[in-house]
Each structure stands twice: as C-alpha cells, then as structure tokens.
Structure 1
C-alpha cells in the first residue's frame, strides 16, 4: 500500500520510477544524521534524456518540465534510500544546474518546475533553500540536473 506522499503523487498522475544507478564513481545517496544527501538527478524520463540548451533549442516551459522530471527522479532516490516517502520531514536545499546559452537568464523560472512540485507534494515542508545556476553543458546533453538535501524522520 502506498503512503500519503505516494497517494498525493498518484493524484497528480505521477508514479515514482525505480531509482537509477550511478554512472560513475559515486553513490546516489548518503545519509548523515537525519539528512539524506542526493546526488545530481538529471532530466531523464523512461530511460530517455530530456535534452536541450535553454535559450537555444529549449524554452522556459520545456526547461520547467525537465526540472520537474529531476524532482520525480529525486523522489525515486528518496524512496530507494528511506523505503518510504512519508519519512521526509523537510526538503532542505536544492542545487540546480540548467544547460544554458550564455545570454539565458531565466534559470530560476526553469527550476520552479522542481520547486513547485516539492511544495505541491509536501506543502510547507517542501519549501527549501535553492541555487539555480546556468552551465555550459550537462551530462548526456540534458537540460537540467538537480541535487538535494532532505531531512527525514
């Protein structure tokens, strides 16, 4: 039986995918005290990268969708590490990287695709500190990569 958080996600039409394995020499998550540190999750859905450079071949709405997918992939890592999404007490921090043209300045709007989903699912506990940074390139040419720090019970 799914918990409250998974029921909320299901009501939004979201099923939590299986967590992806690392593609290099790192671990997907680290637990330190009551915090779960989640390695960068890229914009991949159903095994296919959501690619694009914002301001060149992707617009803000496409970027927001890519960031939302990163959040869904973060949910997958939380579930894999903690066994239950209902253990989340607070989303503490997101660090977001947006594959951007040099003159693209709407990284915060793009990252709202993830931030909005965390708040929609967790309410006030989903409100978090955040960085939204434009970068020249990301792995696999993806549009967005986001890492997270989660406090859990």
Structure 2
C-alpha cells in the first residue's frame, strides 16, 4: 500500500510547510535504495522556534504543537526529495530528541505526540519503532527534534510498453 500524504493531511485540515533547507553542512534527506533518511527537524515554524526545555509544567498543547511542527517539517523535507513516481510505503523508525530539564523523565510521552500524529497521517503503515532521548539542548533552543527513516516504493510507470515483446517458453 502506498500513502498519499498530501491527501491524508488535507482530510485532517493540515498542509505541509515549505520544505526546510539544511542549516549546515549536511543533506536534508538521503535516499539509499528504497530507504529515506530524513535529517533532524527541530520544532521551528518559519524562523520562530518552539523552545524548550520541557518540564512538568510545560502545557500539553505546547508539546503537541512542537511535535506536529517537527512531523510536518520532516514530511515536507521528504516530499521535496522524493523522485518522480516514488511514494511512502511505511514509516520505519522515529528518533526524537527532547530538550528537557535534568529531572524530567517523561520523554516517551512527549514523543507519543509525534508518533500519534504520524499514525493519524499515514494510517497503520505509520506504526514504527522509536527512540526518545532526553538532551540538555537543541539547535536554536528547540523543544524537540525528530528524525525519520522511511521505506519507499516506486509506482509502475503507466502507459509504458516494453521495447521487445515477451519471449514464450517452448
């Protein structure tokens, strides 16, 4: 099954932001064979950063907004890098870095927001393996940064005919 991310987002009342540009000496997405590796996307809307650190008093809506922002930025970077006739087959892995105070222990709950949104957008093929890692800081002071590993599939070209007819076994 392939996933039409733009269609799913439209049904959820969301759109992808413009594809983010790398802010350093790296590539935003690397595609190797049929696997895409999406570089870390910080909770940034335009030039504004949804800042951390997270603590017990951080409102759930701020965490949800940071997770949604990261997921949409990662999907936007991925969509911009996909070759023609290539689509998302499955989300394989989500890695999250949570900028948190030292005594914060609910990193997985922060990442649940990103996981739930991916599942909502991509459906059952959005079920993924995951890591949730607490860190002392992130670029720009961001609250959250995520990375994605995604399996891709190539849709068959329509109206394409073989140059030579098939050989039949005798």
Global fold match (TM > 0.5): yes
Contact 1:67 1:114 in 2 (8 A): yes
Q: Provide the rounded CA distance (Å) in 2 between the counterparts of 1:54 and 1:95.
A: 17
| Secondary structure in 2 matching 1:95 | strand
Runs of 5+ unmatched residues, structure 1: none
| Secondary structure in 2 matching 1:87 | strand
Given the superposition, is the C-alpha separation of residues 84 and 78 from structure 1 closer, same or farther in structure 2, using an over 3 Å criterion? farther
Runs of 5+ unmatched residues, structure 2: 154-170
Contact 2:4 2:87 in 1 (8 A): no
**1:23 offset after TM fit, Å?**
0.8
| Secondary structure in 2 matching 1:20 | coil
Q: Deviations over 1:58-102 (max 9, x none)?
A: 344422320121000011011111167971000000110000011
Question: Deviating runs (4+, > 2 A) in structure 1?
Answer: 56-61, 83-86
Contact 1:6 1:85 in 2 (8 A): no
| Secondary structure in 2 matching 1:79 | helix
* Aligned residue in 1 for 2:163: none
| Secondary structure in 1 matching 2:26 | coil
Q: Which has the higher helix share?
A: 1
Given the superposition, is the C-alpha separation of residues 110 and 86 from structure 1 closer, same or farther in structure 2, using an over 3 Å criterion? farther
**1:5 offset after TM fit, Å?**
2.3
Contact 1:75 1:85 in 2 (8 A): no
Contact 1:35 1:149 in 2 (8 A): yes
Q: TM-score, normalised by structure 2?
A: 0.82
Q: Which has the larger radius of gyration?
A: 2
